[in-house]
Chains A and B, each alone.
Chain A
Amino acid sequence: MTDTYAKQLALVIDLNTCVGCHACVTSCKSWNTSGWAGPLTDENPYDKDPTGVFFNRVQTYEAGTFPHTETVHFPKSCLHCEDPPCVPVCPTKATYKREEDGIVVVDYDKCIGCKYCSWACPYGARELDENEGVMKKCTLCVDRIYDTDLPEADRKPACVLACPPGARLFGDITDPDSEVSIAIREEGGYQLMPEWGAKPSNHYLPKRKTKRVIHDDELVRADNPLKKEGPLPKADEKSPSLDDVTSW
């Protein structure tokens, strides 16, 4: 099932930058419930036991023992695997990987709602929309990224545009010069659960410590020869000025 695709669009998510604000979650829900993939139905949204369809979630993890802990905010959506295990198992071929850009999508008119694709996804990226009886998943905003009515800068997934600190990058990971490929290559981009061989296209950039070493002499003003604050001494009138025309 490993085919080569003309392109592989994907997200690269920088865990070092993500602040866990859930803006990508809400913008995703908002765009996709109103668009091609929608509605992303909710059950009892304002009542007891609400539940509903989401393509994107932000989770929070903690590493270490208090007080030496590190918080990791972890956004999770479909990873648009290069070898997606959800695709071959679909009995109706409703789920497929687009040859032109590698996005994994579901044909809602063919899906029978057997949930087998959700069993076959180790990442839990597929959900049943119980109202519509079909499986739904992240489309990488396929209805938005090719929309020529939008300004070029807006032709990106809703989550990418919404991310306040810019932790989400979007692009073609098969193009070595793309922003995402450079980020993966130069900042240690990695895949989730590589042990299952699905080769997820979305990559994550690790948390990293940003440290600055300050030496003692940087804390002391070295440019004040008098070692005290005050007006600088005036130069002698005969000494050369900067332009040799004006005088001090």
Chain B
Amino acid sequence: MRPAFSVIFLTTLIGAGQGLFLALIAGQFYWVIGATPAQEAANFYALGSLLSLCLLSTGLFSSFFHLAHPERAWRSAAAWRTSWLSREVIVLPLVMGLLVVYGGLHWLDWHPVLMTFGNMKDLDLSMAVGYLGAGAVIMLFVCTAMIYACMKFIQEWASPVTVLNFTLMGSASGFVLVTAYAGIMGSPLWDFYAGGALALTVLALFGRLASLLRNRMLKPMSSVQTAIGVRHRNLRQITRGFTAGAFNLKEFFHPGNPSLLPLLTGFYVTAAFAVPILLMAVGWQLQSTALFGLAFVVQYAGLVAERWMFFAEARHPQNLYYQKVA
């Protein structure tokens, strides 16, 4: 498949934004259950929500460049019963809405208690909105990934590993970012976030390696034989039937040099996972916020390359019909 940068930026940016929102909610939960006694820095959640909102909005903005008729984008919520793309279009604004409410409640410092549990812990409004937000974030990860994973004949995508990886990579980059942000804000949750960022990045690495291994072992279900229905072992295309260009030649083939693709795979495994893991391990030891900031930037670049390869390594069966020109 041809990697579309609008979609690459959409998925990586909203991934980081969702991860950041999830991190804020996790941080608040960590504090609420009394795991850390220190009071959170003023406006930590509100400004963090704003940062997350910026990432989500930039991602949403980027997605419009994928559409040939962006002014009709509002129509795209219509098929929510059948289309994961439609579901994403509904859940993304839902996440953004909950984020605004969550950040707003923290900004106004308005925490009405909704209920009190037996252990005398309170559930306040912002935490309740946070739980809803966490649910919506997970739903959005699933919707985004299922857009790809539901295409059963693109075998590289059609796997639960795709959903797992979108979730893990988005969460990891959000947690790396929140650690850098928590350091700047002087948050007592810094260590919690640093550990989370490191753990999620390691998990994301395993997830991506699993999908790399899976893709390597895939056996294509379709062949030239099934494509035209001629059962001959030695069957090949002589001509695709035209010498000019066509949509079929552009959309489903990646523009990269095939010999460079392993290099790009090596780059993203290094930049998105290996280097950030190293930087964070050292940064956690040194209590260095700067190293986490650097880790986020390097990881984001790696994740962009990862998403590019996610498209490039997907082999669409329609390509069987466009092998040769004569």
Contacts and interface: CB of A to CB of B under 8 A. Distances in A.
Interface in B207-243: 221-222, 224, 226-230, 232, 234-242
Nearest to B244: A50
A127 interface: yes
Given A90-B79, A91-B83, A196-B152, A110 B247 contact: no
B316 A72 contact: no
Interface in A185-237: 190-196, 204, 206-207
A66 B69 CA distance: 50
Contact of B1 (A60, A111, A119): A119
A91 B226 contact: no
Interface stretch (A4-12, A51-59, A143-151): A51-59
A112 B67 contact: yes
A160 interface: no
Given A60-B239, A91-B86, A124 B230 contact: no
A60 B82 contact: no
B228 A118 contact: no
B318 A195 contact: no
A36 interface: no
Size bracket of the B interface: 35 or more
B321 A76 contact: yes
Interface in A62-111: 62-65, 70-72, 74, 76, 85, 87-94, 110-111
A136 to B, nearest CB: 9
Interface string B73-92: 10111110011111001000
Contacts of B300: none
Contact of A124 (B69, B84, B232, B322): B322
Nearest to A126: B247
B251 A118 contact: yes
B237 to A, nearest CB: 5
B221 A195 contact: yes
B229 A114 contact: no
Contacts of B34: none
Contacts of A118: 247, 251
Contact of A63 (B153, B230, B239): B230
B235 A130 contact: no
Nearest to A130: B68
B310 interface: no
Contact of A61 (B83, B152, B238, B319): B238
Contacts of A195: 221-222, 226
Interface string B283-321: 000000000000000000000000000000000111101
A1 interface: yes
B251 to A, nearest CB: 6
A11 to B, nearest CB: 14
A127 B229 contact: no
Contacts of A90: 79, 83
B90 to A, nearest CB: 10
Contacts of A91: 75-79, 83, 85-86, 89
Contact of B238 (A71, A113, A194, A207): A71
B72 A110 contact: yes
A127 B246 contact: yes
A204 B231 CA distance: 13
Contacts of A70: 232
A108 B161 CA distance: 35
Interface string A16-33: 000000100100000000
Contacts of A92: 72, 75-76, 78-79
A182 to B, nearest CB: 19
B262 interface: no
Given A92-B72, A119-B154, A193-B226, A53 B235 contact: no
A29 to B, nearest CB: 11
A88 B82 contact: yes
A192 B75 contact: no
Contacts of B69: 111-113, 133-134
Contacts of B43: none
- In the A-B complex, the 6 residue pairs with the smallest Cβ-Cβ separation, listed nearest first, are A113-B68, A124-B318, A133-B68, A51-B245, A88-B82, A91-B76
13 contacts: A50-B245, A54-B242, A59-B239, A60-B239, A74-B228, A91-B79, A112-B69, A124-B248, A134-B68, A134-B69, A190-B229, A193-B222, A196-B222
Given A92-B79, A196-B317, 5 more contacts: A52-B244, A60-B326, A89-B82, A112-B69, A122-B222
